[in-house]
């Protein structure tokens, strides 16, 4: 399995995240996609990736998580695990729980979790999804931590913006894919600004409107 980690200016915890991933035999290649970070941060991320044999650095000049994911997919040939770059407390056990569930034969496995900072955009999404897509019963449909088969990624459209995590789950559901969810506990990550949360919510609303 390959790992895809999109990041825009988040680098402080990358070395630890990569270290955790390298303890797992199921992980083959780690792809860090620098999504138009500031030049000095890009230099740090690139230098960090060079310290690990199994880690590849890619630069995506177009901002937007979807753009970063599309860049990564031009290099990935295996099933993929998606992770966020700002997780402070990622453990091998968390990742293993996700992969173990995926290896039961599912096409997509999302991680359910709570955030230590309490921030979430999932609550307003859940009611709408349960109404429009009652068969898609996920606690964390907007979460960016998940395993997915490469064959599924090859069949879906990757949007440019930050609705991509929700979009992948929705499209996989519409394709009739086997989707599961596993609780990995509480995550500590970077608090998001009000502006960032607002932008993310706007992208998610657009994605939800497209379902109706």
What digits encode the pLDDT tens for the residues 109-159?
Answer: 999 999 886 656 566 677 778 788 889 989 888 899 999 999 999 999 999
For CA atoms 111, 114, 117, 121, the dihedral sign is: positive
In this prediction, residue 130 carries a pLDDT of 79
Contact between residue 82 and residue 108 where contact means Cβ atoms under 8 Å apart: no
Count, in order, helices (H) and strands (E) of the chain: 8, 7
Tokens 């992948």 locate to 168
Q: Which residue has the higher pLDDT, 80 or 211?
A: 80
In this prediction, residue 162 carries a pLDDT of 72
Q: What is the mean pLDDT of residues 21-37?
A: 97
Listed in order, strand segments (DSSP E) in the chain are 2-7, 29-35, 55-60, 80-82, 108-115, 146-148, 179-187
Listed in order, strand segments (DSSP E) in 72-178 are 80-82, 108-115, 146-148
Beta-bridge partner residues of 5: 32
Q: Which two tokens mark 175? A: 């394709």
Q: Does the pLDDT at position 92 exceed 80?
A: yes
pTM of the model: 0.91
Rounded distance between C-alpha atoms, residue 30 and residue 86, angstroms: 16
Rounded distance between C-alpha atoms, residue 54 and residue 31, angstroms: 9
Torsion region of 64: left, alpha or beta (phi above 0 gives left; psi -120 to 50 gives alpha): left
Q: What is the mean pLDDT of residues 18-40?
A: 97
Report how far apart, in Å, the C-alpha atoms of 199 and of each of 101, 142, 161 are. Answer: 32, 14, 10
Mean pLDDT for the chain overall: 90
Q: Which residue has the higher pLDDT, 166 or 202?
A: 166
Rounded distance between C-alpha atoms, residue 210 and residue 92, angstroms: 37
Which CATH architecture fits 2-209? Alpha-Beta Complex (3.90)
Contact between residue 28 and residue 150 where contact means Cβ atoms under 8 Å apart: no
In this prediction, residue 193 carries a pLDDT of 61
In this prediction, residue 205 carries a pLDDT of 72
């Amino acid at each position: 399995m390959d790992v895809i980690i999109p990041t825009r200016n988040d680098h402080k915890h990358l070395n630890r995240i990569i270290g955790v991933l390298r303890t797992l035999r199921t992980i083959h290649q780690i792809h860090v996609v620098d999504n138009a970070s500031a030049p000095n941060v890009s230099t740090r991320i690139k230098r960090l990736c060079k310290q690990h044999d199994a880690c590849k650095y890619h630069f995506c000049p177009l901002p937007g998580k979807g753009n970063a994911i599309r860049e990564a997919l031009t290099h990935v040939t295996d099933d993929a695990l998606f992770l966020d770059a700002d997780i402070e407390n990622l453990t091998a056990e968390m990742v293993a729980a996700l992969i173990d569930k995926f290896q039961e034969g599912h096409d997509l496995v999302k991680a359910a979790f709570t955030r230590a900072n309490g921030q979430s955009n999932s609550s307003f999404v859940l009611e709408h999804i349960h109404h429009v897509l009652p068969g898609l019963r996920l606690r964390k449909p907007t979460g960016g931590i998940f395993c997915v088969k490469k064959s599924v990624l090859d069949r879906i459209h990757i949007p440019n913006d930050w609705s991509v995590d929700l979009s992948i789950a929705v499209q996989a559901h519409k394709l009739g894919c086997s989707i599961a969810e596993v609780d990995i506990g509480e995550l500590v990550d970077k608090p998001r600004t009000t502006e960032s949360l607002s932008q993310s919510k706007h992208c998610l609303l657009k994605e939800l409107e497209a379902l109706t």
